[in-house]
Amino acid sequence: MTGEQDQQQEYYSTLDAHHVAPLWGVLHKMVPPRPNPSSQVQTWPYASIRPLLMQAGDLISAEEAERRVLMLVNNPTLGPPYTTDTIYAGLQLILPGETAPAHRHTAFALRFIVEGDSDGAFTAVQGKKVVMERGDVILTPSWTWHDHGSDSKGPMVWLDGLDLPVYRFLPINFAENHSDPRYPSELAEGELAKGLKFPWKDMQTQLDANASTTGHVKLDYRHADGSHLSKTISAQAERVNAGTSSSKVRETLSFVYHVYEGQGYTTIVTPEGEEKVVMWMRKDTFNVPAWSVVSHTCRSQSDSAYLFAITDRPMIEALGLYRKEEL
Ligand code: GTQ
């Protein structure tokens, strides 16, 4: 070692004790030339997750668990609550006759119904009992009391999407349990459920009406006043026409995708240039790290594919960080 290196080593070894560190060793990691999400592309095929959920159904009640959820975890780089860098997602199971007791929290939640009869499973949101059907999106806005229940005949499964990773950065989530398992509620349908429930049939009607010869339609879920579903996370739905691929796009957004209907694959090229091809079928879930190039392909020659995705668009736009590139 030269005398100069010795001096540097000695200097660095003194810094820890003063709680300082040299930026010059890590500048390009702190201020990278392009986005560098920590999450990796991962898939949660429903065929492998559903049996695990049903096992959980045998092992623990919804009441005991409070929320009987298998979190979708982005291992190995990130643990819970990360499904992708900014979004938490989990698959929640409610069995006939069960109640997931009422609570409220600062975190915002949206749910996409994956499986279940349309005859009696509900989420009660601040006094409004909203019945859930496959493909519906149900919101539980920040700090609203909510419990889930089911008087239906079979299991009910939905995908939870929450902004929990935000509270790692802003550690100011509050939560409270209600004194009773159920918060008093009355059935809310049609107009009364507006703003809390976004029925799949309405979304599919819009997607189908917009289906063009280009083969790909993407629509954001919006409130009646045009605003996103929440200030943090929101959702979109896409139709990929039979036998076609969507054009390659990258955005500064992270996604958790869920396949409502169809068979195909999504090609994802991460910002580091790694290409992953996710093969999917109905009810599968996968994530897309921010600034990845994405293209979906519907493999069927006769039936279109429909994809749902949770995104962090509201917060990214609000922070002025939204960018899009068409390739
Ligand atoms: O249903 O309230 O997946 O509070 C994680 C946290 C669901 C819920 C989750 C929650 C909920």
- The full DSSP string for 190-249 is GGGGTTTEE-HHHHHHHHHHH--TT-EEEEE---TTS--SSSS-EEEEEEE-TT-BPPPE
* Token pair belonging to 11: 């200097």
Q: Which residues, in sequence order, are bridge partners of residue 293?
A: 269
Residues with CB under 6 A from ligand 1: 67, 69, 90, 92, 105, 109, 160, 162
Atom of ligand 1 nearest to the CA of 160: 3
Position of tokens 């910002």? 271
Strands 137-140 and 324-326, sheet pairing: unpaired
| pLDDT of amino acid 118 | 66
Residues 111, 157: Cα–Cα separation, whole Å: 10
Question: Strand order in 137-140's β-sheet?
Answer: 69-71, 88-94, 156-162, 109-115, 137-140, 197-198
Atom of ligand 1 nearest to the CA of 100: 1
C-alpha distance from residue 57 to each of 44, 119, 152, 190, 316 (Å): 19, 20, 15, 31, 37
Question: Strand order in 324-326's β-sheet?
Answer: 275-280, 264-269, 293-298, 249-251, 324-326
Distance 203 CA to ligand 1 centre (A): 24
Across 45-73, average pLDDT: 97
Find all residues with CB under 8 Å of 289, minimum gap 6, and list them. Answer: 37, 38, 39, 40, 41, 84, 85, 254, 268, 270, 271
What are the backbone angles phi and psi of residue 113, rounded to the nearest 5°?
-80, 125
| pLDDT of amino acid 92 | 97
Distance 272 CA to ligand 1 centre (A): 33
Atom of ligand 1 nearest to the CA of 107: 4
Distance 160 CA to ligand 1 centre (A): 7
User: 261: closest CA among 209, 201, 178, 189?
Assistant: 201
Which of 68, 106, 110, 162 to probe ligand 1 with, by most ligand atoms within 8 A of CB?
A: 162
The span from the first CA to the last CA of the chain, in angstroms, equals: 49
Percent of all residues in the chain with a pLDDT value above 90, rounded to a whole number: 94
Residue nearest to atom 11 of ligand 1 (CA): 67
Distance 158 CA to ligand 1 centre (A): 11
Q: What confidence tens digit (pLDDT) does each residue in 182-234 have?
A: 999 999 999 999 999 999 999 999 999 998 767 899 999 999 999 999 999 99
Q: Is the pLDDT of residue 95 over 70?
A: yes
Residue nearest to atom 10 of ligand 1 (CA): 67
Across 93-114, average pLDDT: 96
What mean pLDDT is reported for the chain? 96
Domains of the chain: 43-193 (2.60.120.10), 200-326 (2.60.120.10)
Q: Is the pLDDT of residue 76 over 80?
A: yes
Q: What confidence tens digit (pLDDT) does each residue in 250-264 have?
A: 999 999 999 999 999
| pLDDT of amino acid 1 | 61
Residues 288, 311: Cα–Cα separation, whole Å: 10
In 3-state terms the chain splits into helix, strand, coil percentages (rounded to 5) of 20, 35, 45
Which of 66, 69, 157 to probe ligand 1 with, by most ligand atoms within 8 A of CB?
A: 69
Q: What confidence tens digit (pLDDT) does each residue in 134-156 have?
A: 999 999 999 999 999 998 889 99
